[in-house]
């Protein structure tokens, strides 16, 4: 199985901050990498697909980059509604796997 490792596991930030979350795959996955946002009691929401493509309806302050084994999700200016948990997911192998999540909290 392909293992996905996110860092950090949690972070505290203020509204307006630039936030970066990283995700590392245990083997090369090309650009088969997606990012999701999840709020308590809700289903995950797709933000970024294919490493850098913005899902329709998602604000442009979200961006993704990377290929191979190292990937990044960036929120350019954190908004109150962005406090949530973020997951990366590889869709390279038959049964895709998720990172362990990064919780973004209010400082």
Partner 1 sequence: EVQLVESGGGLVQPGGSLRLSCAASGFTVSSNYMSWVRQAPGKGLEGVSVIYSGSNTYYADSVKGRFTISRDNSKNTLYLQMNSLRAEDTAVYYCARDVAAAFPNWGQGTLVTVSS
Q: How far is the CB of 31 from partner 1 (least distance, A)?
A: 10
| Residue 94 touches partner 1, criterion: CB under 8 A | yes
Query: 96 — phi, psi (to 5°)?
Result: -60, 160
State which of positions 37-66 bind partner 1 (CB under 8 A): 38, 43-46, 49-50, 55
| Residue 68 touches partner 1, criterion: CB under 8 A | no
Q: How far is the CB of 45 from partner 1 (least distance, A)?
A: 8
CA dist., res. 101 & res. 89, Å (int): 10
Show Cβ contacts of residue 13 under 8 Å, excluding neighbours closer than 6 positions: 19, 78, 104, 105, 106, 107
Q: How far is the CB of 87 from partner 1 (least distance, A)?
A: 6
SS3 call for 81: helix
Of 12-20, 32-40, 61-69, 72-80, the segment contacting partner 1 by CB under 8 A is: 32-40
């Amino acid at each position: 199985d392909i293992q996905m490792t996110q860092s950090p596991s949690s972070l505290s930030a203020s509204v307006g901050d630039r936030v970066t979350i990283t995700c590392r795959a245990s083997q090369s996955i090309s650009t088969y990498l997606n990012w999701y946002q999840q709020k308590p009691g809700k289903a995950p929401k797709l933000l970024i697909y294919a490493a850098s493509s913005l899902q329709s309806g998602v604000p442009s302050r979200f961006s993704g980059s990377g290929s191979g084994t190292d990937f990044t999700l960036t929120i350019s200016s954190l908004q109150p509604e962005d406090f949530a948990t973020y997951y990366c997911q590889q869709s390279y192998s038959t049964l895709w796997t998720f990172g362990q999540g990064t919780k973004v909290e209010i400082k």
